[in-house]
């Protein structure tokens, strides 16, 4: 089988998994979007996914992603930055990406806002440190509300939702706990008047648990493109 046929087949499988998970959760399948995570993957893999109908892509590493996005030049693709977002990267991110999922400080949000030149607002998810591990990025839940307020006031940003990358867990019931916590924070912000519509949670190994807890966008890499050889 050719590589592009394999990628198309893997995408079909993910769509079936999303459908089954939505059914199990009593949710509408159309409320769940698939972000194909293409860090470390060559342009050919991305092209194959585009030809198979996938148009929403997530990248983690800025330099690598800029090269790929420029060479692929897909006008109806949507590019999501999901990697660590430091000050020295904000300018290129603001001018290249449609979404950033990894905003966890007001200073970063302000830079993205100041550096965004497009007429269209940059879509933002705030990354929350749900598992509360010192090594992980993300805003702590107790500081989330203040950050959301600050981002809401930046005119070139559009606050869309929350993202989390919880500690890996094997058991379905354990996986659900962190996702349920993120959903609770999401609901709390909306009841305070925010209009968040995106709950970015769930990866290859835990997307079913994330969908059970309300994910509206799952970020899938290895189950589409295979195991990554480099981090």
Q: Which residues bind ligand PLP (CB under 6 A)?
A: 37, 39, 60, 82, 165, 203-205, 219-223
Which one, 8 or 207, has the nearer CB to ligand PLP?
207
Closest CA to 100 of 38, 30, 159: 159
Which one, 19 or 114, has the nearer CB to ligand PLP?
19
Which one, 42 or 153, has the nearer CB to ligand PLP?
42
- Shortest spacing between CB 145 and ligand PLP, in angstroms: 23
The Cα-based distances of 206 to 5, 56, 108, 146, 157 in angstroms read: 25, 20, 29, 29, 29
Which one, 6 or 149, has the nearer CB to ligand PLP?
6
Which one, 18 or 165, has the nearer CB to ligand PLP?
165
Q: CA–CA separation, 219 vs 99, rounded Å?
A: 13
Q: CA–CA separation, 186 vs 67, rounded Å?
A: 34
- Shortest spacing between CB 36 and ligand PLP, in angstroms: 9
For the chain, give percent helix, strand, coil, nearest 5.
45, 20, 35
Which one, 16 or 146, has the nearer CB to ligand PLP?
16
- Shortest spacing between CB 163 and ligand PLP, in angstroms: 7
Q: How many residues does the chain have?
A: 231
Q: CA–CA separation, 153 vs 12, rounded Å?
A: 40
- Shortest spacing between CB 117 and ligand PLP, in angstroms: 26
CA angle 66, 124, 140 (to 5 degrees): 110
> Closest residue (Cβ) to ligand PLP?
221
- Shortest spacing between CB 189 and ligand PLP, in angstroms: 21
- Shortest spacing between CB 94 and ligand PLP, in angstroms: 19
Task: Specify the DSSP element, H or E, that contains 118.
Answer: none
């Amino acid at each position: 089988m050719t590589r592009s046929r394999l990628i198309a087949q893997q995408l079909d499988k993910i769509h079936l998994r999303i459908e089954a998970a939505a059914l199990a959760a009593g949710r509408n399948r159309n409320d769940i979007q698939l972000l194909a995570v293409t860090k470390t993957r060559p342009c050919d893999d991305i092209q194959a996914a585009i030809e198979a109908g996938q148009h929403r892509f997530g990248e983690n590493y800025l330099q690598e992603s800029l090269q790929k996005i420029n060479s692929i030049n897909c006008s109806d693709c949507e590019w999501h930055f999901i990697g660590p977002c430091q000050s020295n990267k904000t300018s290129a991110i603001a001018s290249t990406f449609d979404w950033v999922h990894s905003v966890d400080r007001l200073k970063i949000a302000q830079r993205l806002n100041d550096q965004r030149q497009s007429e269209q607002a940059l879509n933002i998810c705030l990354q929350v440190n749900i598992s509360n591990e010192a090594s992980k990025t993300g805003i702590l839940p107790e500081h989330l509300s203040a950050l959301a307020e600050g981002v809401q006031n930046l005119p070139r940003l559009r606050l869309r939702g929350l993202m989390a990358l919880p500690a890996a867990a094997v058991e379905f019931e354990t996986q659900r706990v962190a996702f349920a916590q993120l959903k609770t924070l999401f609901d709390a912000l909306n009841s305070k008047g925010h209009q968040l519509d995106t709950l970015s949670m769930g990866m290859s190994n835990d997307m079913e648990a994330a969908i059970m807890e309300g994910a509206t966008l799952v970020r899938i890499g290895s189950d589409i493109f295979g195991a990554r050889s480099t981090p």
